[in-house]
Amino acid sequence: MVNQGKQETDRVLAESFQALVMTKPVEKITIKEITDGAGVIRPTFYNHFQDKYELIEWIIRKDILGPAYPLIKNGLTNQAVLLVFTSLVREREFYSRLGRMGGPVSFADLVVKCIKEVLLEIFAEHPRSKNGKFPWMSIDMLAEHYARSMCYAVEVWICQGMTVPPQEMADMYEYLLSHSMEQAIREF
């Protein structure tokens, strides 16, 4: 593993972790088990990740949000959301198990953090008007709102067994983003 780059080591650690998640709860997985499965020594893990939760964040960013990022950045939000749900379905069992994660950090905490970071990157690329409608509202608040909203949709969908097709989930999420609560009440 000496000649392999950081990305390859990250991927090998992630694959080892993903295999372990299929056999035991996340909170019971040790760093030693992850490194043994990856064929590296323990210090290698800590050269790449602080803990297994940071590894989960890396997986979410790399496998779920990374491919959706250029779509969001280019205003193709519905297609980005569809890609997120489609990617989650592809690894259904893994993400279902993460959704049941116990311990000091929840899956929702990690998802919100990852989505918020992506949104903050995208928002930072757009100049903010000083005369905006709500000048007291920060970009951080806006990113947190949308991150929690998306996380809630993902969390509920995972808990319900991912039975609703990804396209329908993307359409539902787009509906929620584009309609007021008053409109939703009238239409349901």
Task: Give residue-wise pLDDT tens across range 70-120.
Answer: 999 898 999 999 999 999 999 999 999 999 998 889 999 999 999 999 999
Q: What is the mean pLDDT of the chain?
A: 92
What is the total count of domains within the chain?
2
Binning pLDDT at 50, 70 and 90, where does residue 49 land?
very high
CATH code assigned at 25: 1.10.10.60
Per-residue pLDDT at 129: 64
Residues 90 and 138 both lie in one domain: yes
- Do 44 and 85 lie in a common domain? no
Kindly state whether residues 116 and 32 are assigned to the same domain: no
pTM: 0.89
Domain encompassing residue 119: 51-187
The CATH code of the domain that includes 170 is 1.10.357.10
Average pLDDT for 138-143? 91
Mark whether 33 and 125 lie in a shared domain: no
| Nearest-angstrom CA–CA distance, 24 and 20 | 6
